């Protein structure tokens, strides 16, 4: 369960009392952050990826009530995990359930509650009869109550292991021969070759884009390495998965997390989505509406949208047509709110996404693209519309692939029975 790759935070104003724990984690190669809990020593910016907090329930306070303890302790936690934390777990150093409940209640009131918590006796310097292994076993026995939270830790551990292994293997191609400057020069040459391979250009740009392009090429291979680690590594299988139904909003948010990016690149990239209601002839929107026939209760919140369908390699290498303006391929469709039920629109000329969550609107939406709307548009640099969000690569490629298949279909004239 423990991994050197998860972020562990220990909060205690008495270093000597938690020294055995810190030593145990160090012996096992598990990285941690130790804080004394004093406000002036807390991070200015919350840590990302905190998964486990060992929390001293009394941080420099003398016999306060449970409620008076809860607020400052919860404030310490909020300074560490931030206002939008990922899943994290708390180990409380106390046997007093009343204090724990007050802290949890406070964290719930500000929407940063942990996914779970336990209480544990604090190991102290007097525990001379407890070996390092016994201390870790005691902690792991308690932490086995995390159940499915283990899978969060497993996944993050696999990904970080794949990244480390991939990076080590790749950069070991350049052996550390000669002085430091020679190794650095050879690494820059390797990255330069990757950048040129990615852009298919004869020369480097001599700016940060060169490094970005090299990393993008490496990222394609890294994805395969992550999948290989997941396929081959042994899982710590502790609890069965479930088929229990999820709420529509939860499913929509999952789809957004997997397939939609609401922090789009300001530059034009494959999969970018923009609102097009005021940019093109109104007849296009009317034609798509007539084909899809959305429900009347959704008609007041339907937007015509365009998707950049120009291939990513053409955008990276500027293979698109251009003179005083640039020519891009656009596929149009409708952004439709999901009111009562989802749209099961499955015509050959359409692509309908599953429902996803639109955070700015706080509603569930679907996209329905019409392949008959594919067109080209000319934009100067200052004419490009703002992009609302980006469809991530896998879904964008699926749309592009089905559009190409629709364009290339031959059709047939076989006669049906009826």
Instruction: Report the 3 state secondary structure along 240-279.
Output: CCCCCCCCHHHHHHHHHHHHEECCCCCCCCCCEEEECCCC
Compute the distance between CA of residue 404 and CA of residue 187 in angstroms, rounded to an integer.
40
At residue 346 the predicted structure's pLDDT band, cuts being 50, 70 and 90, is low
At residue 350 the predicted structure's pLDDT band, cuts being 50, 70 and 90, is confident
Please say if the pLDDT value at position 128 is more than 60. no
Higher pLDDT, 18 or 64: 18
Please say if the pLDDT value at position 73 is more than 90. no
Please say if the pLDDT value at position 296 is more than 80. no
Compute the distance between CA of residue 299 and CA of residue 293 in angstroms, rounded to an integer.
10
Give me the pLDDT at residue 10, please: 92
Alpha carbon distances (Å) from 316 to 117, 148, 267, 319? 48, 41, 11, 8
pTM: 0.80
Give me the pLDDT at residue 380, please: 83
Give me the pLDDT at residue 28, please: 77
Higher pLDDT, 241 or 306: 306
Each residue's pLDDT tens digit, 175-184: 887 777 888 9
Contact 129, 157 (CB under 8 A): no
Per the listing, tokens 């067109």 go with: 375
Averaged pLDDT for residues 111-120? 87
Among 308, 288, 280, 302, smallest CA distance to 361 is for: 302
Mean pLDDT of the chain: 83
Each residue's pLDDT tens digit, 144-186: 777 788 888 888 888 988 999 999 999 998 888 777 788 899 9
At residue 316 the predicted structure's pLDDT band, cuts being 50, 70 and 90, is low
3-class SS at 343?
coil
Averaged pLDDT for residues 342-368? 86
342 by Cβ neighbours in 10 Å (0-12 / 13-18 / 19+) ranks as: middle
Contact 154, 171 (CB under 8 A): no
Bridge-based pairing of strands 363-370 and 89-93 is: unpaired
User: Any idea which of 40-54, 55-69, 193-207 has the lowest mean pLDDT?
Assistant: 55-69
386 by Cβ neighbours in 10 Å (0-12 / 13-18 / 19+) ranks as: exposed
Give me the pLDDT at residue 345, please: 60
Give me the pLDDT at residue 343, please: 67
Please say if the pLDDT value at position 342 is more than 70. no
Rg of the Cα atoms in the chain: 27
Higher pLDDT, 302 or 406: 302
Q: Return all residues near 141 (Cβ < 8 A) that are at least 6 apart.
A: none
């Amino acid at each position: 369960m423990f991994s050197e790759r998860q972020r562990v935070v220990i909060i205690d104003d008495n270093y000597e009392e938690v020294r055995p724990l810190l030593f145990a984690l160090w012996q096992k190669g598990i990285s941690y952050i130790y804080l004394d809990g004093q406000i002036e020593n807390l991070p200015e910016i919350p840590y990302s990826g905190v998964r486990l907090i060992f929390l001293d329930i009394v941080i420099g306070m003398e016999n306060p009530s449970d409620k008076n303890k809860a607020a400052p302790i919860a404030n310490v936690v909020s300074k560490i995990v931030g206002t939008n934390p990922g899943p994290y777990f708390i180990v409380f150093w106390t046997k007093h359930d009343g204090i724990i409940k007050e802290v949890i209640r406070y964290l719930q009131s500000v929407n940063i509650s942990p996914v779970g918590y336990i209480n544990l006796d604090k190991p102290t310097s007097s525990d001379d009869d407890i070996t390092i292994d016994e201390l870790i076993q005691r902690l792991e026995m308690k932490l086995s109550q995390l159940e499915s939270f283990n899978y969060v830790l497993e996944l993050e551990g696999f990904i970080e292991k794949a990244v480390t292994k991939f990076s080590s293997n790749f950069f070991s191609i350049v052996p550390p021969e000669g002085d430091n400057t020679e190794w650095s020069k050879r690494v820059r040459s390797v990255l330069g070759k990757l950048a040129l391979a990615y852009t298919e250009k004869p020369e480097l740009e001599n700016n940060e884009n060169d490094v970005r392009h090299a990393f993008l090429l490496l990222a394609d291979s890294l994805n395969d390495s992550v999948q290989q680690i997941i396929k081959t590594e042994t899982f710590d299988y502790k609890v069965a998965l479930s088929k229990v139904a999820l709420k529509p909003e939860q499913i929509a948010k999952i789809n957004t997390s997997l397939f939609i990016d609401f922090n789009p690149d300001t530059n034009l990239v494959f999969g970018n989505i923009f609102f097009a209601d005021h940019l093109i002839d109104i007849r296009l929107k009317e034609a798509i509406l007539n084909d899809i026939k959305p429900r009347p209760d959704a008609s007041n919140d339907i937007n015509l949208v365009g998707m950049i369908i120009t291939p990513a390699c053409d955008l990276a290498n500027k293979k698109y047509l251009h003179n005083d303006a640039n020519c891009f391929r656009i596929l149009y469709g409708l952004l439709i709110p999901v009111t009562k039920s989802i749209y099961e629109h499955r015509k050959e000329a359409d692509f309908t996404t599953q429902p996803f969550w639109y955070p700015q609107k706080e509603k569930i939406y679907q996209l329905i693209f019409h392949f008959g709307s594919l067109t080209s548009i000319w934009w100067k640099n200052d004419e490009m519309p703002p992009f609302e969000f980006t469809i991530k690569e896998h879904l964008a490629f699926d749309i592009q692939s089905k559009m190409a298949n629709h364009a290339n279909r031959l059709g047939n004239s076989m006669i049906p029975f009826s």
